[in-house]
Structure 1
Amino acid sequence: MALSTRLQRTFCNQMAAWCMLFRRRDMAMTWYRRMLALDPRDTLALASLGFQHARAGENRDALALFDQVIAITPDDADAHFNRAFLLQELNDHDAAIAAFGAAIARNPEHDRAHYGLALSLIATHRLDEAVAPLRKNTKLQPMSPYGWYQLARVQRDLGRLDETQKILDHLATFEPKVARQLERETGLKAGTG
C-alpha cells in the first residue's frame, strides 16, 4: 500500500473514531466505507462496519461483513467469535456452535467463546455438553460470576445438586448478589454444603 493511501486510511480511521466519540454512527460508517474504497480487504474497516450494524440490530448485515473478515483472515479467532455471537443473536444455535468451535480452535483460551458455546448448547438442550465449556470459562475467568451461574443452573437441571451447592458456596464468597439469585432459583442455601 502506497504511503498516500496509508495516510488516507489513517485519516479515515481517525475521522470515524471522532464520529463515534460524538455518537455520529452514520458519519462513522461513511468513513469506514471510504477506508474500504481504498482497500476492499481492510479487515479493520469491515469489522468496524460489522460492529456498527450489530449495534443497530442489523445482525444479518453484520454477519455478512464478518464473513468477509473471515474470508480474508481465516485464523482470526475474534472474527469467528463475532460471527458466532451474531448467529446466536439470530437464534441459529447450531451454526453458532460450529462458529464458537472455530473460534476456540484458533484460540483455546478465548473465554467468551467457551461461554457462548455453552449458551448455545444450553439453548439446544445439550446440557451435558455445556458443562465442559462452562468449566473452561470459569477456569479462564474465575472471578466472573456469569460462567459460574450458568454452570450451577446446568448442574441443577442435570440433577447434580451437590455440584450446584459447591458452586453456590463458591459464588457466595465473591458475588453474593448472584449467589442470592441462585438461592432463589434452586431453593439451596449458601454455606450449607
Structure 2
Amino acid sequence: MKKAAKDDFEHIFQKSYISHKSGKFFEAEKGYRKILEMKPEWGAPMSALGILYLDQNRPEKAKPLFEKAAGLTPPDLSACYQLGRLKQMENDHQGAIPLYQQMLEQQPEAGLIWNNLGVAYRETGKPDDAMESFRASVRFAPEMAEAWNNLGVTLDEQGQVEQALNAYQKAIEIQPDYVSPHLNIGIMLQKLERFKEAETHYRKVLESQPQNEIAQFMLQSICGGDTPPDAAPVAHVRSIFNQCAQNFESILVEKLEYKTPELLFHMVRPYLTENMEILDLGCGTGLGAVLYQPFAKSLTGVDISEKMLEKAAEKKLYSCLEVFDILQAWVFPVKFDLIYSSDVFVYFGDLEQIIKSAAASLAPGGKLAFSVEKLKDNLKSYELYPSGRYAHSQKYIQTCLNRHGFKPLALDSTDIRKQSGAPVKGFLIVAEK
C-alpha cells in the first residue's frame, strides 16, 4: 500500500473515531464502512464499528464484526476483548476463555484481562484456575478494586477466611464506597458471629444503596425488629448457593453433619409406593435424590441456584431439572404424589403461599414432607435469626397445613444440622392432602 493511501485511511479512521466519541454515530459509521470497503481485513475499524453498535445497544450487529476481527491474523485484540465480554454477558463463559487467553499471549501483564478470565473460570467450575487468574490480576493491576473483590469471593468459596477478609478489605481501601465487598465482608463476618462488625458494613452498603434488599435483610437478621420480612431476598439465596455449590456437599455433610435428607426420607418411607410423581423442591445438589429415585415414575428437581442444578445434573437421577422461584406461580405438567423439601423453608418466614402452592400441585392423597428450624415460642409464628434463617413454631406449621387442606401424618423434633459446633433443633413434617 502506498504511504499516501495509508495516511488517507488513518485520517478517515481518526476522523470517524472523533465523530464516534462525540456521539455523531451516523458520520462515524459512514467513515468506518468506507474504510472497510477499501480495506476489508483491517481489524481496527471493524472493531470500532462493532463498539459503535454496542453504544447503540445493537449487540446483534456488533458480534459478527468482533468475530471476524478476532479471527484475523494477527487477531485484533480490542475485538477479542469485546467478543469475550459479549460472550460472558450471554453466559457463554467457556467461549470467552480462549479469547482472553489469546489476548494474554500478547499482553501478559493486562490485569483487566486476567480478572475477566478469572470470572470465566469461576463460572465454568474451575476454582483453581480462577484463583490463579485473580492473583495475577491483582499483581498486575493492584489498584483494581473489582479484582480484589473477586479474589476475596474465590478465597471465601474455598474456606480461606482470613485471606478473603484481607482481599475484601483491600477492595474497600481502594474504593471506600464499593458496595459488593462491603456486602461480602458483612456476610462473612456474620457467619463468624462478629455481628457488630458485620452491621457496620451493611450500613455502609445502605449509605450508597438505601434500597439494597440483601443488606436490609441481613441487618434486620442481626438487629431484629417488630415485624420480620416475609422471606429472604431471592438474589441473596441464589448468591449463597451459587457460591457454595462447588463445595456444598463436603461442607454440609462432613463439617456440619447435615442429615436432614436421610431423616426426612425415613419419615416419608412408610408412605412411598412405586411409580410416584415426585417433586424435589429446592433440590440443591440432589443430596436426597438417590433415596427417592427408586420410587419415582418421574423425579423433578427445582432450585433457585443454577450452579446447584449443574451439580445435581451430574448425578443423573432426575427426569427434569429447572431454575425455579418458589414464590412465583407453580406450573407443572403433572400433579405430584409427593413433594419433599429439605432445609428450604428456613429461608421463608411466611409459609402460607408455599403450602398453598404445594396443595394445588399435589394429586388427591399426595404427601408434603419438609423441614423447618424449631421456634420454641409457640405464641409467635416465625422469627428471623442472626444466621439469616427463619425458625417456625409448631403451632404455626399446623395452622398453615390445616388451612390448606393438609392432614398431619408425622411430626418429629430432631437435630437438623450443626452451627458453630452446636446442634440446630428442627421439625420434620409429613402431611397428606
TM-score by length of 2: 0.40
State how far apart, in whole Å, the 1-side matches of 2:15 and 2:136 are: 40
What is the aligned partner in structure 2 of residue 184 from structure 1?
A: 186
- Match of 2:71, SS? helix
CA contact (8 A) 2:112 2:141 kept: no
Across the two proteins, how many residue pairs are aligned to each other? 190
Tell me if structure 1 keeps the 8 A contact 2:97–2:120.
yes
Structure 1's 21 and 151: CA in aligned 2 closer, same or farther, altered over 3 A?
Answer: closer
- Larger relative contact order (C-alpha < 8 A, sep ≥ 6)? 1
Give 1:11 shift.
4.0
After superposition, give the CA deviation of every residue in 1:1-54 in whole Å (9 maximum; x if it has no partner): 235533542442243134224312122111100011121122221111121122
For the residue of structure 1 that corresponds to 2:177, the secondary structure is helix
Partners of 1:135 and 1:103 in 2: CA distance: 17
Q: Which residue of 1 aligns with 2:16?
A: 16
Please name the residue that 1:61 is paired with. Answer: 61
Quick one: distance in 2 between partners of 1:119 and 1:159? 18
- Shift in CA distance, 17/157, structure 1 to aligned 2, threshold 3 Å: same
Q: 1:182 to 1:93 in 2, by over 3 A?
A: same
Shift of 1:170: 3.4
Superposition map of 1:34-113 within 5 A: 34-74=34-74, 76-113=76-113
State the 1:123 CA deviation.
2.1
Q: Which has the larger radius of gyration?
A: 2
Of residues 27-36 and 3-12 in structure 1, the stretch that sits farther from structure 2 once superposed is: 3-12
Q: 1:8, 1:146 → 2: CA distance? A: 41
1:97/1:121 contact within 8 Å kept: yes
**Identity value in percent:** 19
Structure 2 letter corresponding to 1:103: M
Report the CA distance between 1:114 and its aligned residue: 0.8
- TM (norm. structure 1) is 0.83
Segment of structure 1 superposing worse, 147-156 or 52-61:
52-61
CA, structure 1 residues 44+171, in 2 after alignment: closer, same or farther (shift >3 Å)?
closer
Task: Name whichever structure is richer in strand by fraction.
Answer: 2
Greater helix share, 1 or 2? 1
Unmatched tracts of structure 1, length 5 or more: none
For the aligned residues, what is the CA RMSD?
A: 2.5
The answer to whether the 8 Å contact 1:5/1:38 transfers is no
